[in-house]
Structure 1
Amino acid sequence: MDNQIGNLHNAVSMRDARQTSTLAAQCDVRTLIDRFERFSGEDRAFAFRLLSKDRALMVFEGLDPALRSDLVKSLRHEEIAEHFEQMDPDDRVALIDELPAKVASRLLSGLSPEERALTARVAGYPLRSVGRRMSPEPVLLTEFMTADEALAQVRRHLEAETVYTLPVLDGQRGLVGVTSLRRVLASESSQTMSDVMDEPIFARAEEDAELVARRCADQGLLAMPIVDSEKRLVGILTIDDAHTILEEAESEDQARASASEPLRRPYLSTPVTSLVRSRIVWLLALALGATLTVQVLDSFEDTLEQMVVLALFVPLLIGTGGNTGNQAATTVTRALALGDAHPQDVGRIAIREAAVGVLLGFILGGLGCLLAGMVFEWRIGLVIGLTLLCICTLAATVGGLMPLAAKAIGADPAVFSNPFITTFVDAAGLVIYFLIAAAVFGL
């Protein structure tokens, strides 16, 4: 397989159309998508033109929206219009978000009236809402439909994104229940859907896509009906789409936790200038924040000159504080995402994290006091022990409250997490350290 991929890369690089077409036909679709993500823009457009119609559509749908946008810009309108027509409405909207307005308008104008209406419906919801990620074409059953009628309805809509979870509606398209294809198949032919449906678990179209996707995954649903403000069905979120949303959210959180912006496209397809832009602002912000630490060290310069040994423990103390704060922030952020905690629980969370910090501080501080006292002197051990106790308590409390503060102002908790907690705890921890040292040694 590696040899085949290498040959495909060489054929594309040499613009050998016949060899590229032959090798691409021999690769499975997943391998082709992976290879297309690694191609340059020109190579990707060249290879795409040589795919068969069906494989071209599958590859196009499998690419990230940003790479689809690159392809659209590289190909002629007529080359991409048919693929655009056959995409699911939610995928079509994701692509439109990446395209220049003029290109998007031209593609939309070429859609059939029905597909244009479906696309407009999905695009009408807020950017991060689940309405923008749902399929607006679920299989619809009514509560008085018999099992035989329901099966006939499923057969007429086998192209739907899922046929395994089936919403049940009343006469005004209101969601009254949900059933599964398995239950319909196991029912008597004359049984109605009201007899075999369950109470529906659903989400509002305006809800945050990540929160809905996490509910869908945590509750083990194959799909979740999406309704409007009057509980009328407007679409369905499948577990596949839910996992995609969660993967995107996790990538975004990991990027921001490590002080950079998410790339929103495969790494090898991201220009170097984009990689720089994704990191430079955060690095500048953190560099400015780090000046607080420098200011603290400068303020306690006399203390350091009298007790040089204190400088040896600075990396240990600020590292422990930063790690403690990040652990608390990660735990609370996860609790917020799962609905286990809410902004109004601020008091309880602060008390719990402070208690956790005190216990961690006693354990780590006791160990630090013992080791530092044995190696240096017991007054040094006392300073390290008390500092670790205070820093762990402060870091855990602040780390637990940061995600709540972010939630309260409508920001992403990940943005407020690791980098900012580390910067704050570094400066505050050093102040605590030198004040304790000055008190113990009478400096």
Structure 2
Amino acid sequence: MIRRLLGVALAGAIAVLACTAASATPDPDPAADQDSLRAQEYWLNDYGITDAWKVTKGKGVKIAIIDTGVGHAPELDPAVTDGTDVSGAGSSDGRTAVGAIDANHGSWVASLAAARDADEGEDMIGVAPEADLLSISIGFEGSSARVPFDEQIVNAMRWAVDHGAKVINLSFTTNTLDWDQSWDDAFLYAFNHDVVVVVAAGNRGSGTGIVGAPATIPGVLTVAGVDPSGKASVEASTQGITIGVAAPSEKLLGISADGEPVIWKGTSGAAPIVSGVVALVRAAHPELDADNVIERIIKTARPAKGMTHTPSPLYGYGLVDAEAAVSDKVARVSTNPMGDLKEWIRLYRRAPVEKAPTPTSKPVEVPPLPRADPVSTPASVLLPDRDRVLYGSLPLIAVTVPAILVGLGVTVAARRIRSARSSRTPRRKNL
């Protein structure tokens, strides 16, 4: 069983608690002033998002936010079209935050993916501002969740797929390479239904030394974090061979459940930026399956400064580029470039036992054996019984008696011969 040390992938202007999600407060920096929110979203221009909007803004694509719940802020309300709670502690629509400490986390994540501009260019706007959001509330350890965490993730993944999600965002890490076996079928369910699953890589600043599950699951698009200059973040990102692309994870803007803006950092924010880009690609290219959407994201990524090889343990295939992902020509693929979970299960889980083949002919009927002879009662070996007399004594007598008679006859005959010879021999007289 996985050791469930859950650490939500966020840090910085946030009170980070060991192995749990953390809360945030508005940054005291004057740049967080309400009147300049849009100006703070440097990633919109630096990562080709505003150019991609000339083609699409993600209309018709559903992004599932599996997190602590998406609040009712003005920028979020129009985006959320459906939701549920799988923790047993939230509201049925998934809009009530689960956990007192990390209550706003789901709202910050959702606002980066698809927040609506409520003030004509002044308020925060998400990467895919016309995409729809599904709010699925879960509870991390230390929250009031009544359902085991592994079970929550399974239920959340299936609900998202069944309600039309084409992108699933997971902004958390378990701080361990392995994952509960129940997740195998849940993630396969998403992949088999043509869903792109975007996962945060985790943060070194919150104790994540290496990429942990679900970022280690083959087939997911794992997102690392960089600072505003495009350099790998020291605190707000981790590293690993499963990273697909990198996106901003520092000086991020987020909208809390009550509409309050905050500045925060972490790959929890880098992931929904990429989820928004995935929604743009899916809206611009509805003919592409999930494998080819991921292929577009990684093949159009820009090399980060200092990258020596691709993929890189810090940047994956590079910095995500929304405009290139939407517009460039990319060759088609037939498999998921981030790995094959089904094949991994075949290799590393116990192989399923094949059912015995169904017989194609009728079985041969064998006649029953004759009834066995009754068992006789054991007798004393000193007393003769029927079998001993019949098969032992009588044959012995039959052989022995004639032999004795023959022997006697031979003896008598020999004596007669000797006697006859004696009578014929003349006696010698003494002279």
Does the pair score TM above 0.5? no
Q: Report the TM-score, using the length of structure 1 for normalisation.
A: 0.19
For the pair shown, which has the larger CA radius of gyration, 1 or 2? 2
Q: Taking CA–CA contacts closer than 8 Å with sequence separation of 6 or more, which of the two structures ends up with the larger relative contact order?
A: 2
Q: Report the TM-score, using the length of structure 2 for normalisation.
A: 0.19
Q: Which has the higher helix share?
A: 1
Q: Which has the higher strand share?
A: 2
